[in-house]
Structure 1
Amino acid sequence: MPNAIVHAAERKAFELVLNQVIKTANKEDGYIKVIDTAQKFLGDTWKPEAFDNLRKTFTKGEKYANFFDRILRDVDPEVVKGLFMAFGFEAGYVGYHETRKNAEKYNINVPWVILFDPTSACNLHCVGCWASEYSRTLNLSYEDMDRIVTEGKALGTRGYVLTGGEPMVRKKDIVKLAKAHKDCGFMIFTNGTLVDQQFCDDMKECKNIVLSMSIEGLEDATDNRRGEGVFDKVMKTMDLLRENRLPYGTSICYTSANYKAVTSDEFLDFLIDKGVLFSWYFHFMPTGNDTTMELVPTPEQREYMYHRIREVRGYHGGKEIFLMDFQNDGEWVSGCIAGGKAYFHINPNGDAEPCVFIHYSGANIHQNSILECLQQPLFKAYHDGQPFSDNLLRPCPMLENPAKLRAMVHATGAKSTDMSDPENVDHLTHKVEEYAKNWAPVAEKLWASDHPDYVPKTEDQIQGISDEG
């Protein structure tokens, strides 16, 4: 844990910077002055060129300066401050340094974010949702969740993402947890149908909770997957959050069927008009015995997403919304971030899985501490194997390097954690082998186009690496 006196002093300094942001943002060179102050405070957390890029990006009138103007105009300034303190200072700064120290101390991955599912219950039954097939009676108790956060904080982890099931089924416990751990940030991935005024009031009081709502596109696409009337309910939730001056984003699974629709100008302009500030894009993953490859984007479709997301979020032009593509943005996070490198997942049965899409484990929080979960053989194999490719457009040990996941699971004795129909790792990896083979040459071309010193691998070299596992 950080020294209490140093921590308090640094927190106060960070608060002063945030106050300066809110006070000077709309003035000439306001953001530049803030970045200058931040560089002095953050020191070696970021490289000097990162701050130089920020200065160019946040020049008055530029896209992201306008974007942050919108945040400060539309969101309660006290909520802005609370969220930046929780996710920026506590998780991003203090947590980052503490997790790095403990990773070195124990020679393991220690994440700055932990995902966990408060419940398997959900008020919807969405097509293609792996969690929807689980029993709806599994829950982490409040005591379980409090222990996850308490033990996580002891290792430096101060960012928590709640998934499911539908986490908002447990919203009273979530509020209780957020109030008990004010030095942590909590992001909730939700279908958006259970938010009411009381929860908005709770978020304004806590100031360390933010929502990311799942949406499949416009009304027809969303209702076809999530059920009739769901789109209208999500729109009403967005309106309610906006009325309460609370920030929010969306979570979008892109598939072979919707990839263009969910990145179209029409759709993105619609999100911005509704007040959406950010959106997480997730490549459809064929997890589960009954899941086929039909909805998995083709290599050509994935390449389209690669270019489109970069176009939309470019420093100049594009849209005033922040986008992240969790399959094509491996370059910015040094490849696969699972297995505790940046995060891991705890399902509602308590199993500690390397990734929300990789359902294998050798540890459970009901028998193991968080530290012991991170020390399990499967996570150690992740630690020793990352990055799984020197081309970070092929980051995943399942989707792009299936032989590596297969080898890790067999070598460590990890068991399937699927609670309805356990999927053998050989079945999962065999399913994606053709996809991995077809994506590899496209990834090599794209990576070489952005990295002039990189020599693209031949098909024989790629096949040789795949055969080694």
Structure 2
Amino acid sequence: MAGTVNGSSWWSEVQLAVARRAAEAAVDAAVAYLMPDPAARLDRLLDAVGHFVRDPGDREKYLAFRRRVTGDPAIRARARQLLSNRTMVKRLAVNWGIQQLLLAPSERRHAEQRHGVHVPTFLLIDPTSACNLRCKGCWAAGYDRGPSLSRERFDSLLREAKELGIYWFVLSGGEPFAYKPLLDVVARHTDATFMAYTNGTLITDQVADRLAELGNFSPAISLEGWKEETDERRGAGVFDKVMAAMDRLRERGVIFGASVTVTSRNAETLFSDAFIDFLIDKGVAYLWSFHYVPVGPEADLDLMVKPHQRAWLVRRVNELRATRPIFIADFWNDGHFTQGCIAGARLYLHITPNGDAEPCAFAHFATHNINEVSLVDALKSPLFAAYQRRIPFSSNHYAPCPIIDNPAALREMVAESGARPTHPGAEAVLAADRARFLDDLSARWHEVADALERETHVTASERS
């Protein structure tokens, strides 16, 4: 818990500690109840939870969820699979569901009052730039392959974050599993939740065993589509290694996901019935969808998702959410859920392997480095302040991004804050030719997005 500065904060910390212990006991009892027969007992547990949902709006959402679970045998089968590792279920439920979502917001509010800075919900950290693959078009390819956060700084960064009420950490790279001290450091923070974007090829039997034991770490494994597409970008044999890694995780009850980069060439493949059903059969619990962003001087602009494809993705992802037992997040099309861009330390920031504090994984600019300052000081970056003043960058939440949807905003924020590129070539996204391309593409997308907004988010009064 955060350090105390007066009696009130001390009492708040005591209350939070007691609440966490009570939550752990409740989750432990619920899991123990479900384990013998999850499919049969899930209904009764949901009914019990429903007695505590009083708010009319929340009640409506609960009943819709209840109907979906009751009416979909596939969801019930997934419940049995996802509950197979009791340690993981308990730690994710307590650390993320209760600590991060219910208790931590109060801690973050106290920290904001104490430090006079907005505290985000989670951190994206690249502990290392090392990687065993050389994937074409990798967003991190511009960074040097040498730097890594020291074990001591990685550990202390997590402690600083938790003192601010941040208990959710997303890891990328580089390849997170190429960072030798990774799981030993994670083991020191059993009260936090970790997720990693990984190529999956380093998830051996030994690593899978450790993940099952820890219970607070979920890998999201990157795929480009089927074997041909994945091996073409990531290297021969990678797809088969990923399949083996997924099998290891599923056998041990480790909850894991997948991550895809959507381009103009693979969108229909990635969101086809066949591919989504394949992921579900492999045991994938969630899918993160990233649209291709032209990072670095060698970016292929032709790979960017076209406006008509992006509109199709909105409709297609909503269809899959209603018919498939897998959680899907489409970051560039899901701005309505987040009320705009989540970057710039509004909901998260990105720490690079050499310590630069960037607004997001695709905006490679910074004013502060956490090897030189504390996390609190890094949060006071003028670049982050510029983001937070402008979010949302558009009144239409189908266009949340300051890089591909509102590119003039990124140029303004970098100039206003005096931020520097964090690697050679990062400034290419601001250059005249790239700027003209992005301005034109974003203008065309706004036309489509405005029509989509009228189609999918009309108000009740407009319907009547």
**TM-score, normalization: structure 1?**
0.89
- Counterpart residue type for residue 119 of structure 1: T
Deviation at 1:413, TM superposition (A): 0.4
Equivalent in 3, 6, 9 of residue 18 of structure 2: 9
Percent of counterpart pairs with the same letter?
Answer: 37
Give yes or no for the alignment of 1:147 onto 2:147.
Answer: no
Task: Tell me by how many angstroms 1:173 deviates.
Answer: 1.4
Query: What secondary structure is seen at the aligned counterpart in 1 of 2:119?
Result: coil
The residue aligned with 1:206 is 214
Kindly provide the amino acid, as one letter, of the partner of residue 189 in structure 1: Y
Consecutive unaligned residues in structure 1, runs of 5 or more: 41-46, 457-469
Displacement of 1:66 in angstroms is 4.7
**Which sections of structure 2, spanning at least 5 residues, go unmatched?**
3-8
Deviates further, 419-428 or 139-148: 419-428
Cα contact 1:32–1:59 (8 A) shared by 2: no
1:73-114 Cα distance to aligned partner (Å, 9 max, x none) = 353122111122222122222223322443465554311110
CA distance in 2, matches of 1:430, 1:375: 31
Q: Supply the distance in 2 between the matched residues of 1:165 and 1:245 (Cα, whole angstroms).
A: 26
| Mapping for residues 247-396 of structure 1, pairs under 5 Å | 247-314=255-322, 318-396=323-401
Name the SS of the counterpart of 1:58 in structure 2: helix
Write the distance in 2 (CA, Å) between the matches of 1:103 and 1:448. Answer: 37
Match of 2:195 in 1: 187
Deviates more, 1:83-92 or 1:158-167: 83-92
Aligned length: 446
Instruction: Give yes or no for contact 2:176–2:196 (8 Å, CA) kept in 1.
Output: yes
Structure 2 counterpart of 1:88, one-letter code: G
Correspondent of 2:444 among 428, 435, 438: 438
Distance 1:72 1:255 in 2: 34
User: Could you say what the CA RMSD is over the residues aligned between the two structures, in angstroms?
Assistant: 2.3
Of residues 165, 176, 181, the one that matches 1:173 is: 181
The CA distance in 2 between the partners of 1:63 and 1:128, in whole Å, is: 42
Q: Which residue of 1 aligns with 2:169?
A: 160
CA displacement at 1:58 relative to structure 2:
2.1
**1:27-79 deviation line (CA, Å, top 9, x unaligned):** 37324335336648xxxxxx751343123212375367852652343531221
State the Cα distance separating 1:152 from its structure 2 match: 0.8
- How many Å separate the matches in 2 of 1:287 and 1:27? 48
Mapped partners of 1:389, 1:231: distance in 2: 38
Deviates more, 1:377-386 or 1:423-432: 423-432
Q: Distance in 2 between matches of 1:90 and 1:424?
A: 38
Asked if 1:49 is matched to 2:57, the reply is yes
SS of residue paired to 1:121: coil
1:33 and 2:47 aligned: yes
For residue 154 of structure 1, report the CA deviation from its aligned partner.
1.3
CA change 1:106–1:396 in 2 (3 A) is: farther
Which residue of the other structure, out of 68, 86, 90, is the alignment partner of 1:81?
90
Q: 2:457 aligns with which of 451, 458, 461?
A: 451
Instruction: Output the CA distance in 2 between the equivalents of 1:39 and 1:61.
Output: 17
Give the stretch that moved more between structures: 226-235 or 68-77.
Answer: 68-77
C-alpha separation between the residues in 2 aligned to 1:37 and 1:201?
38
Alignment partner, residue 243 of structure 1: 251
How far apart, CA to CA, are the structure 2 residues paired with 1:414 and 1:183?
34
Deviations 1:216-270 (A, max 9, x none): 1111011111011000000000111111121111001110000000000000111
**TM-score (norm. length: structure 2):** 0.90
Task: For 1:433, give the aligned amino acid.
Answer: D
Identify the residue that residue 242 of structure 2 maps to in structure 1: 234
